[in-house]
Every structure is written in structure tokens, then in C-alpha cells.
Structure 1
Amino acid sequence: MNYLKLNGCSLIQDQVLEEVFLKQQFPEGKDSDVSFGTDNKLLTDDNGAYYVIQLVSISTRVSGKTGTLGYYKVYQAGNYRLY
């Protein structure tokens, strides 16, 4: 599991910050063809509370495919892992 802080904060409060966090951490975040999304549900597991963030290739989705690049669990503590 990776541990990173969002702008010096050790706690991520909502799914909007979760998306911003991933955009800052992944090269895909700087790619205008990649969209980040969530269903806004706060979930929990043994590692804490998290949101599931989906990365999607816009051009692939427009061409009729799913465009899904991956799903990530982004924890409120700033940890993330592949879902």
C-alpha cells in the first residue's frame, strides 16, 4: 500500500479530494484523455474508509468500448491501492 499526503494533509475528507489526490499521483492525471470518477459511496475494509475511483480513457469509451483503465481504493488516510 502506498502512503501519500494531499497538499500536506494526512486525511482525505471526500470523493472530490480522492480524485484530486489520484490526479496528482498518477501520470494519467495529467492526460486530458483520462477521466476520473466515483460513485460517491464511502466504503470500509480492514484498512479503513475509502472511495473507489475509476480511471477511464475518454477516447476509448467514445469509440464504443468501456475505456476502463483501472479502479483504485483511495483511503481517507491518503493510502491507495489497485482495487
Structure 2
Amino acid sequence: MGFNSYAQQQQEVLIHDFSGHKFLSVKNGEGVCFWIGKDVDGQKVKQFVVNPYCASRRIGKTEFRRLPDNVQKVVCNGKIYDLN
């Protein structure tokens, strides 16, 4: 029980590399937001990345947002993440 509540309070930002495309996930508490590009196949990402990630982290709330085409770097919580 203690580990589950500790894990749910953790915040993390991850860069995922899937099928030659990089995208970002931001976990905050019990929810996660995936920032994916327009050219990424959302169905495959959900099947092979999102579902296993959410199952392993016991995440209940998932959100998807699209990144603009020309984004190369993302700033989150004062850190710069390179998407190239």
C-alpha cells in the first residue's frame, strides 16, 4: 500500500522513441499526458506504449495532446527536452 501511494505522487517526464518518432509524456500524480506529433499513428502508440506504461504505473487518467509540426525542443518544469 505504501509504495502505491508513493508511486502515484511521483512526477516524471519521459521521452519515448517509437517507430522513428519521439514524443513526450508528463506524469503528474494519477494522470499522464502524452504529447505526440501529428504524423504519429496514435492507435499504435496507444497499443504499444501507452497501455503498457499505464498498466505498469497504475495510471487511471490518460490524456493526449498534439505537438505542432515544427517543435524540436520542449521545456517542462524548467528542463529542456530535445525531440530530434
TM-score normalised according to structure 1 size: 0.28
Larger helix fraction of residues: 2
With CA pairs under 8 Å and 6+ residues apart, which has the higher RCO, 1 or 2? 1
* Bigger strand share: 2
Q: Give me the TM-score of the superposition, normalised by structure 2.
A: 0.28
